[in-house]
Amino acid sequence: MSVEDRNRLQGPATLRDVAMQAGVSEATVSRALRDDPRVAMETRARVQEVAQQLHYRPNALARSLATQRSQLVGVVVPNVTNPLYTEVVEGIESTLFREGYTVVFCDSHFDLEREDHALQVLWEQRVAGIIVAPIDSQQGHLHWMPERGMPNVWLDSSDIPLLDINQVAVDDGLGAYLACQHLLALGHRRIALINGPTSVLACAERLKGYERALTEQGVTLDAGLIAEGNLVIQGGYEAALNLLRRRPDLTAIFCANDAMAIGALKALREAKLAVPEQVSLVGCDDIPVAEQLQPALTTVWQPKYELGQIAARILLSHIRHAEAHPNGGHAYAYQRVLLQPRLIVRSTTAPSPQVAEDAKKP
C-alpha cells in the first residue's frame, strides 16, 4: 500500500507509526525530530526519512501541553506596511516555517500602548518565543520577557545593562555616516537631515552618524537643517517643504528611510528643484522601489532578509535551550549580532552646485 493510500484510509501518521517503521521507541523519534545530539546521527537520519515518507507532523496540542508553549512565534514590528519590515518578516517566516513554527504578526503602529498590548496577548497565547522591533527599547513594558524566561530576540542594537536579551540589528549610525560622507565628498556642506522620532533607536543612531560625518569634515552643525518626519512618505514630503521654506540654500538632503526620501523627492519636484543638479538626495533601507524611481535613489542598503533569518535562527536556539532545560540550571548564552550596511550610489546624488560651477571654469 502506498503512503498516500495509507494516509487516506487511516488518517495522519502518528508518532507510534514513525517509531514502528523506523524500529525505535517513540521517545527516540521525539528526540530525533528535534535533532537531539543524544540520538546517533544515523538514527536521526533514519527517523527523519521515515517521518518525511509518512508525511508525519508533530501533534502541536500535545507538544504545547507538555512544554507549556505552542508552535507559534510572535513578531511585533512598528509598521508591517513598510517594505523594510516586509523583507525582515519574510526572512523570519521562511526560516521558522521550515522548523514547523507558524508566525503571528503584530503591528504596533509606533504606539507604545499597542506594542505592550501585543506582547501581553502573545504571552497569554503561550507562544514559543517573540521577536520584537521595539519602538523604544528603554520602555519597562518590554522587560518582562527576559524576566519571565520568554525566549526572545530584539531587532535593536541598544546597550541595555542587566537584561538577558538576544539582539540583532544593522549599524544604523554607520549607515547615516556613509551617506553623509558621500555627500561631503561631492562638495556639499549644507546637508539637511529628515529624521524620524529620536525615541526610535534607529533614528537616534542615524542622527549621531549624521553629526559625526559633518563634524569630522569641520562642518558646523546647524539645527535649522534638521527636520523630523514620521517615517512615512507624507512625513518626508512635509518635512522637505518645511526645510525648503526655512533653508532654501540647502544643497543635499539625507532621509532616515526611503519612504521619507520618496516624499522629499515629490516636494523637490513641486519646488521646481532639479535632482540631483540642484539638490542631491539620499535615502536609507534600499527598499525595492528605490531603484525604480526616476531618478533612481541613492540609498543605504541594509541586509533586511538576512536580519530576519538570523533573528529567527537565534530565537530557535533559545527555544530549544528552554525546552531542553525547562527548570533552568544551564545558563543560555545570549547573542548580539550587528550587521553592516553599505552605500548604493545611483542617480539622485551629484557634485554640489558650487563644485559643478567651479568645474566649468577654465
Q: How many helices (H) and strands (E) does the chain have?
A: 14, 12
Ramachandran region of residue 279, left (φ > 0), alpha (ψ -120 to 50) or beta? beta
Q: How many CB atoms are closer than 10 A to CB 234? A: 14
Instruction: Specify the pLDDT at position 248.
Output: 96
- Asked whether the predicted pLDDT for residue 174 surpasses 90, the reply is yes
pLDDT band at 92 (very low <50, low <70, confident <90, very high): very high
Instruction: Specify the pLDDT at position 177.
Output: 98
What gap in Å lies between CA 238 and CA 70, rounded to an integer? 45
User: How do the residues of the chain divide into helix, strand and coil, expressed in percent and rounded to 5?
Assistant: 50, 15, 35
Question: Structural domains in the chain?
Answer: 3-58 (1.10.260.40), 67-170+304-340 (3.40.50.2300), 172-302+343-360 (3.40.50.2300)
Instruction: Specify the pLDDT at position 329.
Output: 63
Distances (CA, A) of 211 to 12, 49, 217, 270, 345: 61, 57, 10, 29, 21
- Asked whether the predicted pLDDT for residue 64 surpasses 50, the reply is no
Instruction: Specify the pLDDT at position 192.
Output: 98
Query: What's the grid cell of residue 108?
Result: 504596533
What gap in Å lies between CA 117 and CA 188, rounded to an integer? 45
Query: What's the grid cell of residue 319?
Result: 527555544
Question: Which of 48-52, 292-296, 319-323 is the most confident on average?
Answer: 292-296
| CB contact set of 96 (below 8 Å; sequence gap of 6+) | 73, 102, 103, 312, 315, 316
Task: Encode pLDDT of 184-206 as tens digits.
Answer: 999 999 999 999 988 888 899 99
- Asked whether the predicted pLDDT for residue 282 surpasses 70, the reply is yes
Query: What's the grid cell of residue 140?
Result: 519597562
pLDDT band at 6 (very low <50, low <70, confident <90, very high): very low
Q: Which residues pair with 194 in a beta bridge?
A: 227, 255
Bigger pLDDT: 135 vs 247: 247
Listed residue (294, 258, 256) closest to 275, CA to CA: 294
Query: What's the grid cell of residue 227?
Result: 527636520
Residue pair 316/69 in contact by the 8 Å Cβ criterion? no
What gap in Å lies between CA 21 and CA 25, rounded to an integer? 10
Instruction: Specify the pLDDT at position 65.
Output: 42
What gap in Å lies between CA 101 and CA 122, rounded to an integer? 14
Instruction: Specify the pLDDT at position 11.
Output: 58
**Mean pLDDT calculated for residue range 226-244:** 96
Instruction: Specify the pLDDT at position 61.
Output: 44
What gap in Å lies between CA 200 and CA 155, rounded to an integer? 12
| CB contact set of 167 (below 8 Å; sequence gap of 6+) | 153, 154, 155, 156, 157, 158, 335, 336, 337
- Asked whether the predicted pLDDT for residue 334 surpasses 70, the reply is yes
Three-class SS of 37-80: CCCCHHHHHHHHHHHHHCCCCCCHHHHHHHHCCCCEEEEEECCC
The pTM assigned to this predicted structure is 0.79
What is the residue whose three cell numbers read 521517545? 27
The DSSP secondary-structure symbol of 219 reads: P
